Structure 1
């Protein structure tokens, strides 16, 4: 890493308590289990842990610098090793160090937020840009106030563009993330009801997502999905240059001649000037057309040609458990356990409907953080599944709501194990089985079980 001890102290507004070495480090860690020699360890606190308890362990494992906000160790136990820096709040310090490092690198940053589709869009943006640039992208779901800074601190001068995902489940989180990442270009995928439990209304969700532009300089591009009803309400603003994608000619780029197969999604992209190019994605589902258009417009802003974007698609690496197709003997599993919201549930059910097979089975679990909208949202998804699935199997808090929407062909269970046992008995030749729920439900356990039958 291209950061010095003095820069860490300056960025974190910290003070040195003990200095037993030069404080040279090559990576940042918040987990003592993953510490390597020459690490900088930041002692974070959570509901069930306090990193300040593990300072001595971190230094024994080779950390050259430790940042704390509580002193819970005896200096003798350091054995004259490591540098210890005291700050007011280690989480704030982590963000401040990442912000300092991002500004020092001077790298182009693309910020991605939205209710759903962030991860797929991130994967597509990174692929398109890779046709011209060396690109870094957020790993997994490292998109919060701990994950985002850690991603930035994995950057180095070999990268030209960073594609960073930004998530939220409460007010002002996107503002704080944008302050750290300072995006040059941003996109909002859509505004749905994900995280409405804390944010209360879709209007508040829109306001929260728009905070991604709070640290824009004059005329930075904001690329939006104009097919979303809430995003259509965004007006031109002196904070950003508004650019729209969608299915009609008023957009900067739009799609037509869409062709969906079991393995690919093809479409023509057309610009306002009439330029056209055909893309084929190794991803399924019409929703990915809009995700791709966001990536295409961002790439155009960064000077990437359609031909270079197409070359970049060879590097597409989709995040696991996102519409992942698993052929198992004579049936197919659609593993979409990464997360769930009403919009992503509907998109997955659309894919289930179009995938060839004799019987379509939907194994659906709870969608989290919907608050007062929880019961109605699960019922609506159940209704949407009519004519897309032949049968629904469900367990969780809202299983009865799926049944109310879908009707008599809904089987509900008191536990995941009961569901697995019933599903295992029911699988027949040429079945297609969609498995989807929020991450907290851990429905990947169902995937692993039937995958190993």
Structure 2
């Protein structure tokens, strides 16, 4: 890894309290289960664990350096191994070290945030850019104050651009992530009600998302989805260069002639200067057109041609459990268990509606972190499902709100196990079954159960 001990000390303002080696290391880890020889272990202190308890274990497994914010070990137990650095707060040190490393590498960074669609957009942005550049992208959902630094530590000089996803659940989190990643270009996919339990209003959510631009320095581009009512209110700013995408011809890039099939989404992307190109995505759902347009505008900002974007699309890799289609005997399962919000629920239901099949069944669970909006939001999703699903199977705290919205063809169960025990009697040949809930509900267990029927 392209960092040395002196740089680590400078970045985190740490103090060496034990020095049994010269402090060389190859990787950075926060998990003793994944430590390799010559690793630097950062002992994070969380709500459910304290990494400071695992210093001895980390060194026994090969960590050459350990960063701590508590001394919870006896020095003699180190057996003359390891170098220990003390800091005030290891979580802050993790971010500070990632920031230092990002600045040292000097590669370009694209930051992606939004209430929904962040990961699909990240995947598309990375694909479009890969037609011209060597691109790194966030893996899975490593988009918070722990995950983002870990992603930055996976970068090396072979990459030209890093596409980094930035999530939030409370105030100032995006600000702190932007401080670490220092994006050169940013995008906001939409502003919905995800995490409104903590952020209290959509206006606050918009403000939180906009903090991704807090460290812009040179009128950097901010790309936004102009079909979102909150993002429509944005105007040009001295802080950023606003670039809008959508269906309106006034946008920097807009789409027309959208064609949806059970396997793909095609559309024409048109620029302000009249250039046009038809793209075909191996993704379903019209919402992906807007995600793709964000990627196209970012690629344009980096000087990528339509032809190079087309080449890059061949490298497209979608993150799992997002509208994953599983064919099983004579039924189709749409696995969309990665997460859920009102916007993503409605988008998935639109896909269910257009996907060919005899009947459409939606297996829906709770959407988290909606606070006082929760009951209303679940009811509204139930209402939105009318005409898109023939039947809803549901569990969770808000199962009755789904039923209030959707009506008599809602089947309510007391638990996930009860739903699985009874699901077979509701499934017939030719059915298309959407399975979706917030990540904490682990609805992928239902998907696996149906696959085995």
Partner of 1:139: 139
Gaps of 5+ in 1: none
The alignment partner of 1:356 has SS state of coil
Partners of 1:229 and 1:136 in 2: how far apart?
A: 31
CA RMSD of aligned residues (A): 0.5
Offset of 1:426 from its aligned partner? 2.0
Offset of 1:121 from its aligned partner? 0.1
Partners of 1:18 and 1:252 in 2: how far apart?
A: 56
Is 1:226 matched up with 2:226? Answer: yes
Q: What CA deviation, in whole Å up to 9, does each residue of 1:197-234 have, x standing for no partner?
A: 00000000000000000000121000000010000111
Is 1:264 matched up with 2:267? Answer: no
Partners of 2:53 and 2:275 in 1: how far apart?
A: 60
Work out the number of aligned pairs and report it: 453
Offset of 1:398 from its aligned partner? 0.3
Offset of 1:34 from its aligned partner? 0.6
Partners of 1:312 and 1:424 in 2: how far apart?
A: 42
Partners of 1:399 and 1:54 in 2: how far apart?
A: 42
Offset of 1:335 from its aligned partner? 0.1
Alignment TM-score, normalising by the size of structure 2: 1.00
Partner of 2:305: 305
Is 1:177 matched up with 2:183? Answer: no
The alignment partner of 2:25 has SS state of coil
Partners of 2:343 and 2:421 in 1: how far apart?
A: 29
Offset of 1:449 from its aligned partner? 1.0
Partners of 1:181 and 1:66 in 2: how far apart?
A: 23
Partners of 1:38 and 1:309 in 2: how far apart?
A: 39
Partner of 1:108: 108
The alignment partner of 1:325 has SS state of strand
Offset of 1:424 from its aligned partner? 2.0
Q: What CA deviation, in whole Å up to 9, does each residue of 1:62-119 have, x standing for no partner?
A: 0011000000000011111111000000000000000000000000000000000000
Partner of 1:315: 315
The alignment partner of 1:244 has SS state of strand
Partner of 1:245: 245
Equivalent pair of 1:218/1:238 in contact (CA under 8 Å): no
Gaps of 5+ in 2: none
Is 1:81 matched up with 2:108? Answer: no
Offset of 1:23 from its aligned partner? 1.4
Offset of 1:26 from its aligned partner? 1.1
Is 1:324 matched up with 2:295? Answer: no
Partner of 2:202: 202
Partners of 1:154 and 1:402 in 2: how far apart?
A: 42
Matched ranges for 1:44-63 at <5 A: 44-63=44-63
Partner of 2:411: 411
Partner of 1:99: 99
Partners of 1:209 and 1:83 in 2: how far apart?
A: 39
Alignment TM-score, normalising by the size of structure 1: 1.00
Partners of 1:132 and 1:62 in 2: how far apart?
A: 39
Q: What CA deviation, in whole Å up to 9, does each residue of 1:2-55 have, x standing for no partner?
A: 000111111010000111111111111111011111111000011111000000
Partners of 2:148 and 2:324 in 1: how far apart?
A: 25
Partners of 1:293 and 1:96 in 2: how far apart?
A: 33
Partners of 2:206 and 2:403 in 1: how far apart?
A: 31
